[in-house]
Structures are given as structure tokens and as C-alpha cells.
């Protein structure tokens, strides 16, 4: 899940995630609303009966914060966390999970449904697409992991459509996130990458177009509150129940 962004070489993003893994949970815990927003987006998959009998993929699971949100929302589902960072995944696996949760080390773009025991009923991807080198290929891969009628939720930064959101994002990054990351980890490369990659990523309208072009329908954006209103969004869509043009 690497992406070339000014100031960081291709391949460097994954290395920085590995280095940050030990302190990552402490840093996100300092972000008001971080875990609550993940839970809100997870519930927006709208799976019935606690996800009973369903397979849910958590792509880009990191240290497991998004996995925990899914497990809380859908305690009866089979949940598979997937991440390309060894360091992040080690932290996730070290936590206490129920028997319905497991983890796989892989790039989301490289997965096939057969690698996971079959296609999924739902995909949740928090802060994933922005880190993929080819967002269109990644969305196509995510779609192909789902059954007909399967649901997908992207929990993602998008500020390109709003000058106000861009300003707030830069202010918070340079006033809080980057200095705090440097203090806690002794490094700032990952947090400077976070700032710039969000600024360079799709606006909400462009991301919805990408989702439709990947063959998803019922595509929509749902707001989140708090200081991240207009900065982090829920993007939802479904796979058609009948095959259509791609």
C-alpha cells in the first residue's frame, strides 16, 4: 500500500508504518472522535442480525482499530483484517479478539476471494485508498472481493472540494499531528506524508465517480461530525446483484 508523494520515496510509506506501529495507538487515541467515527462508518455497512453468517473484510486494518469497530458493530460476523505492514499487523494480532476475528498479511490489491475462503459480503476500508498507488485498480480489486449485492464502505479523508476543510487540515497537522508524532516517535516523515497525501487526494465528488467507474452502485457520501466534519467522510456503495458493464 505504498504511494509516491512528494517528500517520500515509493516504498517508504510502508517502512514508516512499520516504524510507527509501536506508538500508533497512542497517537490516534489523542485524536478526538477517531474511534467513534470508525464505529459510525462501520455501522453504515448496515448488516442485519449482527452480521450473522456474513464475511466482512477490514482492508488496511492497521493495528486493529477499524477491526474493533467492526467487531463491535457486527459481533456475529466473520471478520478478516488485512494489512501490508508487518509492524501494524503484529500489533493487531497481539490484541484480544474473539474466535470470529483473524488477520492476513497482504496488500489489498493482491487479494483474491479464494485466498480468504470465498467472496465477502462486505468490505470496510479505513484510510486505505489514499495510500494505494493506483486507486482505480484498488477499487476494482475491492469490488471483485465482494459477492453480488455486497456492500463497501470507505472511511476516508477528502478535502479537495473545500478550501475551509483544507485550511483546517493543514492547521491541525502542523499545529498538532506533526509535532506530536515527532515527540512520540522521534520521526515526522509519516505525519508529513499524511498531511500532504490528504491534500493531494480526491475530492468527494471525484471519489464517488471512481467508485461508480469501478462498477459500484448506490454510491453516496455520508458526513461525520466533530472537528473532522468535511475532512473525513463515509463513502458507501454496493455491488450490483446482476452483472453489468465495467
CA distances from 129 to 60, 133, 139, 167 (A): 9, 9, 8, 22
The number of residues in the chain equals 246
Which H helix or E strand runs over 157? strand 146-157
Q: Name the band, by pLDDT with cuts 50, 70 and 90, for residue 243.
A: low
Q: Backbone phi, then psi, for 44, in 5-degree steps?
A: -75, -5
Mean pLDDT (the chain, rounded): 90
CA 146 from centroid of its chain's CA atoms: 16
Least confident of 8-12, 181-185, 203-207: 8-12
Q: What distance lies between CA 222 and its chain's CA centroid?
A: 15
All structural domains of the chain with their residue ranges: 12-238
CATH class of 12-238: alpha beta
Q: Residue 78: what pLDDT?
A: 98
**DSSP codes, 171-201:** HHIIIIIHHHHHHHHS--HHHHHHHHHHHHS
| DSSP-derived 3-state class of residue 21 | helix
Query: Is the separation of the CB atoms in 123 and 11 below 8 Å?
Result: no
User: In this structure, what DSSP letter does residue 32 have?
Assistant: T
pLDDT tens-place string over residues 19-49: 777 788 888 888 889 999 999 999 999 999 9
Q: Are strands 232-238 and 217-223 parallel, antiparallel or unpaired?
A: antiparallel
**Taking residues 196-201, what's their average pLDDT?**
96
Amino acid 6: pLDDT: 38
Cα 191-196-198 angle, rounded to 5 deg: 95
Whether pLDDT at 151 is above 90:
yes
SS3 79: strand
The CA distance from 230 to 236, in Å, is 16
- 117 or 212, which is more confident: 212
CB count in 10 Å sphere of residue 243: 9
Answer whether 189's CB lies under 8 Å from 140's CB: no
CA dist 187 and 60 (Å) reads 22
The number of CA neighbours under 13 Å toward the Cβ of 21 is 22
Name the β-bridge partners of 56: 79, 122
For 66-113, the pLDDT digits (tens) are 999 999 999 999 999 999 999 999 999 999 999 999 999 999 889 988
* DSSP 8-state class, residue 75: T
Amino acid at each position: 500500500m505504498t504511494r509516491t508523494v512528494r517528500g517520500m520515496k515509493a516504498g517508504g510509506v510502508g517502512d514508516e508504518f512499520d516504524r510507527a506501529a509501536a506508538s500508533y495507538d497512542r497517537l490516534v487515541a489523542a485524536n478526538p472522535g477517531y474511534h467513534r467515527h470508525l464505529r459510525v462508518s462501520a455501522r453504515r455497512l448496515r448488516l442485519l442480525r449482527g452480521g450473522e453468517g456474513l464475511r466482512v473484510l477490514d482492508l488496511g486494518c492497521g493495528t486493529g482499530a477499524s477491526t474493533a469497530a467492526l467487531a463491535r458493530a457486527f459481533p456475529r460476523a466473520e471478520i478478516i483484517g488485512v494489512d501490508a505492514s508487518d509492524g501494524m499487523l503484529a500489533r493487531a494480532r497481539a490484541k484480544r479478539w474473539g474466535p470470529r476475528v483473524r488477520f492476513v498479511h497482504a496488500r489489498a490489491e493482491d487479494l483474491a476471494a479464494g485466498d480468504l475462503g470465498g467472496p465477502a459480503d462486505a468490505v470496510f476500508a479505513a484510510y486505505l485508498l489514499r495510500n494505494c498507488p493506483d486507486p482505480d485498480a484498488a477499487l476494482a480489486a475491492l469490488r471483485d472481493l465482494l459477492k453480488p449485492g455486497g456492500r463497501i464502505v470507505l472511511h476516508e479523508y477528502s478535502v479537495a472540494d473545500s478550501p475551509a476543510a483544507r485550511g483546517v487540515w493543514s492547521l491541525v497537522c502542523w499545529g498538532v499531528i506533526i509535532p506530536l508524532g515527532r515527540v512520540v516517535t522521534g520521526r515526522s516523515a509519516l505525519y508529513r506524508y499524511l498531511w500532504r497525501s490528504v491534500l493531494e487526494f480526491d475530492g468527494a465528488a471525484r471519489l464517488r465517480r471512481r467508485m461508480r467507474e469501478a462498477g459500484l452502485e448506490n454510491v453516496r457520501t455520508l458526513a461525520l461530525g466533530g472537528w473532522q466534519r468535511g475532512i473525513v467522510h463515509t463513502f458507501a456503495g454496493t455491488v450490483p446483484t446482476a452483472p453489468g458493464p465495467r
